[in-house]
Amino acid sequence: MANVRISKLDSTGLLQLKNMDCAPLPVERDSIYILFYRFFNDTCRLAYVEDELVGFILALVDQTDPAHAYIHYFFVKEEHRGMKIGEMLLNELISVLRTKQLRTVTLMTGNPKNEKYYSKFGFVRDEDMMDKDKTDPVYKYIIEDKKMIFYRLDLRRQLR
């Protein structure tokens, strides 16, 4: 198996990341990646094989609830999938968040097939978010129009 290295969001990685084709995920503007590099670096991790960036996870801490982190972007290049690189990235992030004594980590996805993947890590559907007051047009847009599904992981829960 290839030698995978998990690292922080360093400048070399950022410059590779901004050019990466992350289909089927939507294309991000450079400025979003730079935002994570500058202000949310602690909660981001990269996966390298040799010097090639092959995957990444970008998360941030919620300004309205500092005990909550949100995973914004999680991706492994197609040719490197199924080699537990995603698992390494997610486990590393979860470990960082636990060290920081955060309470929960959440994410949203438009792909219901991802549920099986996340459930292995202890994520469950975030019913509170799914039931969010749809009178807020933004939540209505995310949940009803974009058909996003929310998941949460209780970081205080002990995994088997």
Q: Which residues are at the interface with ligand COA (CB under 6 A)?
A: 25, 74-76, 81-87, 107, 109, 111, 114, 117
Q: Which CB atom, from 121 or from 139, has the smaller least distance to ligand COA?
A: 121
Q: Which CB atom, from 84 or from 98, has the smaller least distance to ligand COA?
A: 84
Work out how close the CB of 36 gets to ligand COA at its nearest, in angstroms, rounded to a whole number: 15
CA nearest neighbour of 100 among 70, 123, 63, 66: 66
Contact 53, 16 (CB under 8 A): yes
Cβ-closest residue to ligand COA?
86
Whole-angstrom Cα distance, residue 113 to residue 123?
A: 13
Work out how close the CB of 150 gets to ligand COA at its nearest, in angstroms, rounded to a whole number: 11
Whole-angstrom Cα distance, residue 61 to residue 65?
A: 8
Contact 157, 122 (CB under 8 A): yes
Pairing outcome for strands 68-76 and 124-125 = unpaired
Q: Which CB atom, from 27 or from 135, has the smaller least distance to ligand COA?
A: 27
Work out how close the CB of 64 gets to ligand COA at its nearest, in angstroms, rounded to a whole number: 22
